[in-house]
Amino acid sequence: MKGKVVAPKKNWLHEALLRNDMNVPSLDAPICTKKFLVEVKSEECFMFGVSIIKKLPCPAPPPLHSLNKLVIDQLQKAHSVPGVVPDTKSWNRLIEHLKARKADKDWCLEILATLEPAVHCHIFERGYFYTKNDEKAKPILSREDLLFYGAMPE
């Protein structure tokens, strides 16, 4: 009797990628389509490993559309991750997927914290507050104000 090859379900792929050290967005995120997960599995689309992910505090993150745009901009600038050098084709494929569909907030924050220029990303600065009128959000307090009010210097 010949066996029939059955395409795995989306949630099976997601769980398998998580077990294999891939930091994929949550299953509910619009970017997590079956096509995306298959491309990550076959390494056509770059995905960050759980072991290289860094986390930085961001108590008041911007809305998802701004955060997604910021991730795309940072990915286009970075072209690599500390300790990992992905091929350009798979890196660009990840950017294409992010342009087509959004990921979840937690995943976006983890990616921004992991990228090389993340230390200078304005959403991780002290006193950061998102304003609707200003797409390039500014910290509420300047460095001098933070020092004046007794905050620890960086």
- Rounded to whole angstroms, the Cα distance separating 144 from 126 reads 12
**Domain-located, residue 142:** yes
Burial of 7 (0-12, 13-18, 19+ CB in 10 A): exposed
**Domain-located, residue 64:** yes
- Residue 128, domain extent: 10-148
- Tens of pLDDT, residue by residue over 2-30, are 555 555 788 889 999 999 999 999 999 99
**Domain-located, residue 2:** no
**Domain-located, residue 39:** yes
Predicted model pTM = 0.75
**Domain-located, residue 3:** no
- Tens of pLDDT, residue by residue over 100-132, are 999 999 999 998 888 865 446 778 877 777 776
The answer to whether the beta carbons of residues 13 and 37 sit under 8 Å apart is yes
- The number of domains in the chain is 1
- Tens of pLDDT, residue by residue over 28-83, are 999 999 999 999 998 899 998 888 888 888 888 888 988 999 889 888 887 666 66
**Domain-located, residue 66:** yes
Q: Residue 133: what pLDDT?
A: 58
**Domain-located, residue 1:** no
Structure tokens of 25?
């967005």
**Domain-located, residue 121:** yes
Kindly give, in sequence order, each residue whose CB lies less than 8 Å from that of residue 53, ignoring residues fewer than 6 positions away: 23, 110, 113, 114
Q: Residue 151: what pLDDT?
A: 54
